[in-house]
Amino acid sequence: MQPAMLSSEEVFNRYIKPRIWIKNYDEGVPPDVDIKYFPLYEILDEAVRRYPNRNAQIFMGRRISYKVIGDHSDRLAHAFREMGIGKGDVVALHMPNSPSYTIAFFAALKVGAIVSPMNPLYTPREITFQIKSSSSRILVTTNILYKNAEQALKDIKVERVIVAGIEDYISPLLRPLARLRLKMPKISYGNKILRFSDLVRSYSPSTYREKIDPLEDVAALMYTGGTTGVPKGAKILHGNIVANLQQIKPLYDVIRKKRSVEGPMRFIGILPWYHIYGLIVVMLYSIYDGGTVIVFPRPDIEGLMKSVEKYRAHVLHGVPTLYNAIINHPKVDKYKLNTLLFCISGAAPLPIEVAKRFETKTGAVLREGYGLTETAVVTHVNPLYGRSKLGSIGLPIPSTYAAIADLERPILLPPGAIGEIVISGPQVMKGYTVEDENRDAFFTAHGLKWFRTGDIGYMDEEGYFYVLDRKKEMIKYKGYSVYPREIEEVLMMHECVKEAAVVGIPAPDVGEIPKAFIVLKSECRNKVKESDILKWVEDKLAPYKRPRAVEFREELPKSPVGKILRRVLRDEEMKKLSLGK
């Protein structure tokens, strides 16, 4: 019988149940890990107990120990409790990568609160949306971002705003210079607006830990577009995250054994921690593994290369545009990058030439992986020393089932068949905050609950998975997820815009760029220019979401029921590219 003729039951029994991919695992990687469930805050408590004086983070040259991170989070947790924050309350984090971020994250977890991270690039409108949607009671931000937060709080109220100084954890000798260079805003502190450093200094460390059910209690409310373009919260359980940490540990064990690594691993922390990719595989995994993170509050390619050489870093997680930027940097040959051992690329397809050139320059293992916000986070990765297939997202990690499903029906498809990538495993989220989304996102088949990823792809006969396209029309710009509908809604706020559609246009250096197609109201035609629209959206969308091009049209393509057909617009653009126009 040909695979194409197999029933869903036969596909499951022949390929998925036995997990045909495990035979291609690196030596030492088990099919399953013995997952132990516990509250996420315990990984920091354990690291403080075992390695109190070890460097947890290096921030702008200053070394911060696990003991300090633990102590300061205990103090902030005490402050949270005094404010009445407890189990199930939401604390919003509007911060760049920093020790303050880690401290606030764990302080919230220790009192049983849920953390809702948000992009530090968000405009006031976007901050307002997430605070309102998540019902956050506390907003933790930083002085360098305070202006946008202050503007947002004119439209939405929270009980307290806690402002961390970006300079709080750098050398005291450098703080005055940092304040001068960064042009810190004037902030009127009082009963509602509190200084992070004052709370850490004035409260004693609390040993209180809220009782947590890891398989029921939410640790993080991560905002994503899900299966539509409207951002919504994905409820990530304590158990989802601690499971994924244990699932990816065997990969590090392989590296340690193969490269004879002794002592703590050193991570480059350039991926943003508001995004689940950086949050879990860098900030949280480094703590779980007792490692040290060199923390970057903003992207800095030369600074990254300097830090790899200075601190002899081992691990780099990034997106394709990061690796492309490194290999094309004019000073790449100036720095010694050969201490890098383990590099993973995710969030967008990794170009084959980029992977080859990066490995040649560094000697590191660079492998493409895959995961989603909803799977907290890793589901696939290519073997590190076994057979890696360029262009593939790799094999499902231990204790994970993956398959290809029919786009509409709850049936599994055989190797080679194109359909939707679906995942079943302990890292899969509890669900979306929007219940209507959950009906479309999950289905049950063959005794397992499957999550629909929204990505179209296939599995080959050896269990390697490939992504071909996205089921929905999310745009990937520099690894960021950009949702056309959100941009369209902002464009429709313009007094001259009658209709708008946004699609992603391939761009080699950044992945895709958002391009807007606009139909103007009759009274505005020939009066509004492309530059007018691009300027108008600047204070309404984060930089990575803004359209990079605008095309005015008399009308937009529509279906018989009047739905704007984005795919037609994209197909037209792809045709132009193929013709070289």
Domain boundary, last residue among 470, 496, 515:
470
Report pLDDT digits (tens) over 363-374.
Answer: 898 999 999 999
In a domain, 219, yes or no: no
Domain boundary, last residue among 211, 243, 264:
211
- Whole-angstrom distance, CA of residue 463 vs CA of residue 452: 18
- Helices 352-362, 320-327: axis angle to 10 degrees equals 50
Do 504 and 556 fall into the same domain?
A: yes
In a domain, 357, yes or no: yes
Strands 378-381 and 511-520: unpaired
Report residue 392's pLDDT band, with 50, 70 and 90 as the boundaries: very high
- DSSP-assigned letter for residue 283: I
Write down the pLDDT at residue 230.
Answer: 64
Write down the pLDDT at residue 317.
Answer: 96
CATH at 494: 3.30.300.30
Do 265 and 403 fall into the same domain?
A: yes
How much is the pTM?
0.87
- In the predicted structure, residue 389 carries a pLDDT above the cut 60: yes
Percent of the chain scoring above 90 in pLDDT: 76
More confident residue, 177 or 282: 282
Do 458 and 468 form a contact (C-beta atoms < 8 A)?
A: yes
Other beta carbons within 10 Å of 495: 9
Task: For residue 111, say if its preceding peptide bond is cis, omega within 30 degrees of 0.
Answer: no
Report residue 432's pLDDT band, with 50, 70 and 90 as the boundaries: very high
- In the predicted structure, residue 81 carries a pLDDT above the cut 50: yes
Do 207 and 248 fall into the same domain?
A: no
CATH at 188: 3.40.50.980
Do 98 and 142 form a contact (C-beta atoms < 8 A)?
A: yes
Do 253 and 115 fall into the same domain?
A: no
Write down the pLDDT at residue 308.
Answer: 97
Percent of the chain scoring above 70 in pLDDT: 96
User: Which one, of 463, 42, 29, lies nearest residue 249 by Cα?
Assistant: 29
Write down the pLDDT at residue 134.
Answer: 96
Do 319 and 463 fall into the same domain?
A: yes
Distances (CA, A) of 388 to 33, 152, 396, 478: 22, 47, 13, 24
CATH at 371: 3.40.50.12780
- In the predicted structure, residue 3 carries a pLDDT above the cut 80: no
Write down the pLDDT at residue 483.
Answer: 81
Write down the pLDDT at residue 324.
Answer: 86
- In the predicted structure, residue 24 carries a pLDDT above the cut 50: yes
Strands 218-224 and 232-237: antiparallel
- What six digits make up the tokens of 224? 């994503």
Do 165 and 139 fall into the same domain?
A: yes
Rg of the chain over all Cα atoms, to the nearest angstrom: 24
Q: From start to end of 340-426, where are the E strands?
A: 342-345, 365-371, 378-381, 395-396, 401-405, 412-413, 419-424
In a domain, 175, yes or no: yes
Owning domain of residue 113: 67-211
Mean pLDDT of the region 199-224: 97
More confident residue, 331 or 576: 331
Write down the pLDDT at residue 2.
Answer: 45
Report pLDDT digits (tens) over 553-564.
Answer: 999 998 655 568
Report pLDDT digits (tens) over 92-124.
Answer: 999 999 999 999 999 999 999 999 999 998 999
In a domain, 400, yes or no: yes
Do 422 and 415 form a contact (C-beta atoms < 8 A)?
A: no
In a domain, 46, yes or no: no
More confident residue, 575 or 287: 287
User: Which one, of 545, 559, 542, lies nearest residue 510 by Cα?
Assistant: 545
- What six digits make up the tokens of 401? 């089932």
Other beta carbons within 10 Å of 257: 12
Do 245 and 125 fall into the same domain?
A: no
Write down the pLDDT at residue 468.
Answer: 81
Average predicted confidence (pLDDT) for the chain: 92
- Whole-angstrom distance, CA of residue 514 vs CA of residue 512: 7
H/E run at residue 105: helix 99-110
- Main-chain dihedrals φ then ψ at residue 58, nearest 5 degrees: -120, 115
Do 346 and 299 form a contact (C-beta atoms < 8 A)?
A: no
Write down the pLDDT at residue 227.
Answer: 46
Do 387 and 485 fall into the same domain?
A: no
In a domain, 61, yes or no: no
Other beta carbons within 10 Å of 352: 11
Do 492 and 464 fall into the same domain?
A: no
- In the predicted structure, residue 330 carries a pLDDT above the cut 70: yes
Lowest mean pLDDT among 372-381, 471-480, 570-579: 471-480
Burial of 188 (0-12, 13-18, 19+ CB in 10 A): exposed
Mean pLDDT of the region 13-39: 97
Report pLDDT digits (tens) over 402-413.
Answer: 999 998 899 999
Write down the pLDDT at residue 579.
Answer: 75
Helices (H) and strands (E) in the chain, counts: 18, 28
- Whole-angstrom distance, CA of residue 144 vs CA of residue 182: 7
In a domain, 495, yes or no: yes
Report pLDDT digits (tens) over 489-521.
Answer: 899 889 999 889 999 999 888 889 999 999 999
Domain boundary, last residue among 424, 443, 470:
470
Report pLDDT digits (tens) over 159-189.
Answer: 999 999 988 998 877 777 776 677 777 898 9
Under DSSP, is residue 169 helix (H, G, I), strand (E, B) or coil? coil
Q: From start to end of 313-415, where are the E strands?
A: 315-318, 342-345, 365-371, 378-381, 395-396, 401-405, 412-413
Do 485 and 523 fall into the same domain?
A: yes
- In the predicted structure, residue 4 carries a pLDDT above the cut 60: no
- In the predicted structure, residue 128 carries a pLDDT above the cut 60: yes
Under DSSP, is residue 175 helix (H, G, I), strand (E, B) or coil? helix
- Whole-angstrom distance, CA of residue 556 vs CA of residue 568: 9
Report residue 222's pLDDT band, with 50, 70 and 90 as the boundaries: very high
- Whole-angstrom distance, CA of residue 470 vs CA of residue 475: 9
With b meaning 16 or more CB within 10 Å and e meaning fewer, what string describes 100-116? bbbbbbbbbbbbbbbbb
Which residues are bridge partners to 223 per DSSP?
Answer: 233
In a domain, 222, yes or no: no
Other beta carbons within 10 Å of 210: 17
Do 488 and 358 fall into the same domain?
A: no
Write down the pLDDT at residue 1.
Answer: 37
Side chain identity, residue 468: L
Do 414 and 435 fall into the same domain?
A: yes
Write down the pLDDT at residue 296.
Answer: 96
Query: How many structural domains compose the chain?
Result: 3
- Whole-angstrom distance, CA of residue 549 vs CA of residue 177: 39
